[in-house]
Amino acid sequence: MKATATNNKNLNNNPQNLEPLIPRSGNYRKLFSYQKAEAIFDMTYYFSHKYLQWGDRTIDQMVQAARSGKQNIVEGCAASATSKKTEIILIGVAKASLHELLLDYEDYLRTREQRQWEDDSVELLKMRELGRKHNNTGFYMPLVKTRPPETIANMAICLLKQTDYLLFNQLQSLGEDFLKNGGISERMTKMRLERKKY
């Protein structure tokens, strides 16, 4: 009962239903960038352990780059409530990590003299279309497990480029929001002034 009374008292202290100082963090699982990054991580884990030679340091490098891409999106969303600057930095790290992974896949194809799908190739156009329609790993992994390594690498390259584009737009939006509304310090000052009116 005490907890209920305290909660009710806190609600009464905000009779005008003013905006809270610390907003709820965004749900990262709803972000297309996160969904694609998760699919890329699962694809990379499968690909590197199945098709790279045991003991090859590239396995750990690719998996860590894929994980960094995914996890920094999560950490960025978690930090957004108290630090927009940190969120921007972490999303930037995610973008850089996935770009590193992109180069690893391109290196894989080039060093083995395997074909990277050309921009106007039928395969790439079809994969781009799939990438526009589907984000979740549950769609891609059954496909991946029936494809040869050359195809998986090309699929990952396409998804990585699409994710890079999404993260670029995300950074642009975060930057504009920061310039317009500032960070936690500006928010605190603004809200203190607003609360004094009541």
Q: Determine the average pLDDT of the residues in 79-90.
A: 84
Computed over every residue of the chain, the mean pLDDT equals 84
Q: Considering the entire predicted model, what is its pTM?
A: 0.78
Q: Quick one: which of 96, 48, 52 has its CA closest to 73?
A: 96
User: How would residue 11 be classed by pLDDT, with cut points 50, 70 and 90?
Assistant: very low
Percent of the chain having pLDDT more than 70? 76
Q: What pLDDT sits at residue 75?
A: 92
Note the pLDDT tens digit of each residue in 20-30: 444 555 678 89
- List the domain boundaries for the chain: 30-195
Dist. CA 176–CA 98, nearest whole Å: 23
Confidence (pLDDT) at 9: 41
Q: Answer whether residue 184 shows pLDDT above 90.
A: no
Cα–Cα distance measured from residue 126 to residue 138, given in angstroms and rounded to the nearest whole number: 18
DSSP letter, residue 30: G
Q: Is the pLDDT of residue 155 over 80?
A: yes
Between CA 97 and CA 39 the distance in angstroms is 15
Average pLDDT over residues 127-142: 97
- CA-only gyration radius of the chain, Å: 22
* Eight-state DSSP code of residue 28: G
pLDDT band at 40 (very low <50, low <70, confident <90, very high): very high
